[in-house]
Amino acid sequence: MRAQPAASHFVDGRPLEDETGAPIPVIYPATGEEIARLHEATPAVIEAAVASGVRAQAAWAAMRPVERARILRRASDLIRARNEELSLLETLDTGKPLQETLVADWASGADALEFFAGLAPTVTGETVPLGQDFVYTIREPLGLCVGIGAWNYPSQIACWKAAPALALGNAMVFKPSEVTPLGALKLAEILIEAGLPPGLFNVVQGRGGVGAALVTDSRVAKVSLTGSVPTGRRVYAAAAEGVRHVTMELGGKSPLIVFDDADLESAIGAAMLGNFYSAGQICSNGTRVFVQKGIKEAFLARLAERADAIRMGDPLDPEVQMGPLVSQAQLEKVLAYIEKARAEGGRLVCGGEASVSPGCYVQPTVFADVTDEMTLAREEVFGPVMAVLDFETEEEAIARANATDFGLAAGVFTADLTRAHRVVAQLQAGTCWINAYNLTPVEAPFGGVKLSGVGRENGRAAVEHYTQVKSVYVGMGPVDAPY
Ligand SMILES: NC(=O)c1ccc[n+]([C@@H]2O[C@H](COP(=O)([O-])OP(=O)(O)OC[C@H]3O[C@@H](n4cnc5c(N)ncnc54)[C@H](O)[C@@H]3O)[C@@H](O)[C@H]2O)c1
Ligand SMILES: C[N+](C)(C)CC=O
Ligand SMILES: [K+]
């Protein structure tokens, strides 16, 4: 199977190759096959990408918002029309089952382009009356933005960053994860086909070093990263050197609290979606499932039954519900967490093994009797490993849910809606779900508190993060100077 793109990079409206850059083999994680070979961006490629972005941005910002919006809207239509072909590529790049990529990845990317196309023309300033004088404000684009992606939702992440950036008049240089570099190149092609002027969305490939070079370029106004907390710390610090704007979408160890009056089937379904979808490689997963004592054994028994029925295997088989992890490295990391959970006294309820060889598969795994001190309750695994903890009172559940440095998401299952709102009000998380989990429609702001991030993607909130306000004071009378 080959998925070799025309060139590694996409700069100033066309594919660009420079084979002197270090090779990036692209691996299909279900078989270990190399499906493409790209090259890291050299300084010359980075320079071309940044220079063309800066050059193109001024004219783009000067266009009427509805004209910009029309192009993005066209791109979203093209994505939808090509969803099958794009989803197949996403499956090859990530190993996620076609059953998921057909509905969750590019589809959400198309939603973002459509949403920000609609929103951009509504973004206006305000007028502040000051007697006869007044101030008016203008929301201006920031300029050239850098987007850096993680490997779990490569095309969705590219779209979630490109859509608000472009809709609001910025240019973007995007660096995908070196683990899943293919989707962003397709987005660049589609945007050109939709009528985007060259230079406004450039893709450069590379590992952390290429990302670091972009973040510290003096022409860059903003950096939006989706990645881990350690990378977030480095990128945030590097961006601070130039006092650049940042959006940081980082990791989590999110709690999902299930009270004893909850609809058990729904709570179990949500816990499974929030731990096993995308083989557990989702930032907002509810990986600490707090179950109230009285229903614990019933919860675990039914959960094990449903988890054992998950169909694992070839991600290209439309019946398959769970594919491999993204890479051999991720497989080893996840298996090490499973071993540690056993060693620290977790009770294995189901799964626990690598499976279906070759490929990077891990069974859907559940540990019960997990305590707050165990590694499994503290560190982000990014694999299909659920920790079930039990609790007695509401106050206890809230305190333990918040006892983490992360704060990306949280969920509550209960039939008592007064309690649901009371609990959510006290949870330290950027996104909370009540009787639902992991739904991230583009209409809703998404992002973290505490170490899970700064800034928000999606929703109206994203406008704040891709524009800046200019205040214009208008004097209507003579200047009253004391000298
Ligand atoms: N909050 C969210 O929206 C969200 C979404 C998806 C994934 N994530 C998080 O991402 C992580 C998994 O993704 P990952 O393993 O690709 O993350 P990562 O932190 O290893 O890498 C993220 C990106 O940063 C780049 N990078 C690494 N070092 C850099 C540096 N010094 N300067 C600039 N760029 C650098 C990488 O090349 C990659 O493109 C998990 O922690 C997960 O929770 C968060
Ligand atoms: C944003 N989300 C939850 C779809 C993917 C994060 O890993
Ligand atoms: K890959």
Distance 129 CA to ligand 2 centre (A): 43
Phi, psi of 371 (to 5 degrees): -110, 165
Residue with tokens 């704040």: 464
Counting atoms of ligand 1 from 1, which one is nearest the CA of 149?
39
Query: Is 145 marked as binding a ligand?
Result: no
pLDDT for residue 29: 96
Task: For residue 386, give the nearest of 296, 275, 297 by alpha carbon.
Answer: 275
Handedness of CA 248, 109, 76, 79 (dihedral sign): positive
Which residues 6+ apart lie within 8 Å of 324 measured at CB?
29, 30, 95, 279, 315, 331, 356, 359, 360, 361
pLDDT of residue 401: 98
For ligand 2, the distance from its centroid to the CA atom of residue 153, given in whole angstroms, is 7
Whether 333 is in the pocket of ligand 1, judged by its Cβ within 6 Å, is no
Query: Average pLDDT per run of 10 along the chain, which is 483 residues long?
Result: 97 98 97 97 98 98 98 98 98 98 98 98 98 98 98 98 99 98 98 98 98 98 98 98 98 98 98 98 98 98 97 96 96 97 98 84 97 98 98 98 98 98 98 98 98 98 98 97 95
The owner of tokens 């983490």 is 404
Count of other CB atoms within 10 angstroms of residue 119 = 21
Question: Which ligand is nearest the CA of 36, by number?
Answer: 3
Token pair, residue 14, equals 């066309």
CA of 225 to the centre of ligand 1 (A): 7
The answer to whether the annotation marks 317 as part of a ligand binding site is no
End-to-end CA distance of the chain: 80
Q: What pLDDT was estimated at residue 1?
A: 87
The answer to whether 279 and 362 are in contact (CB under 8 A) is yes
pLDDT of residue 358: 77
152 lines ligand 2 (CB under 6 A): yes
Residue nearest to atom 38 of ligand 1 (CA): 177
Q: Encoding tokens for residue 17?
A: 């190759």
Which atom of ligand 1 is closest in space to residue 330's alpha carbon?
A: 15
Tokens representing 466 are 């891709």
CA distances from 25 to 6, 121, 422 (A): 15, 41, 50
pTM: 0.97
Among candidate residues 84, 92, 73, 136, the one with its CA nearest the CA of residue 4: 92
Q: Is 177 known to sit in a ligand binding site? A: yes
178 lines ligand 1 (CB under 6 A): yes
Asked, as a colleague might, if the bond just before 29 is cis with ω within 30 of 0, I would say: no
Q: Rounded to whole angstroms, how far apart are CA atoms 160 and 113?
A: 8
Indicate which residues carry an active-site annotation: 161, 249, 283, 457
446, 442, 453, 465: which is closest to 159 by C-alpha? 442
Using CA atoms, how far residue 200 sits from 14, 64, 165, in Å, is 12, 16, 10
Looking at the DSSP bridge assignments, the partners of residue 245 are: 222
Q: CA-CA distance, 423 to 418, in Å (whole number)? A: 9
**Can you tell me the distance from the alpha carbon of 479 to that of 330, in angstroms, rounded to the nearest whole number?**
67
Sign of the torsion formed by the C-alpha atoms of 351, 352, 355 and 360: positive
The amino acid at residue 89 is: L
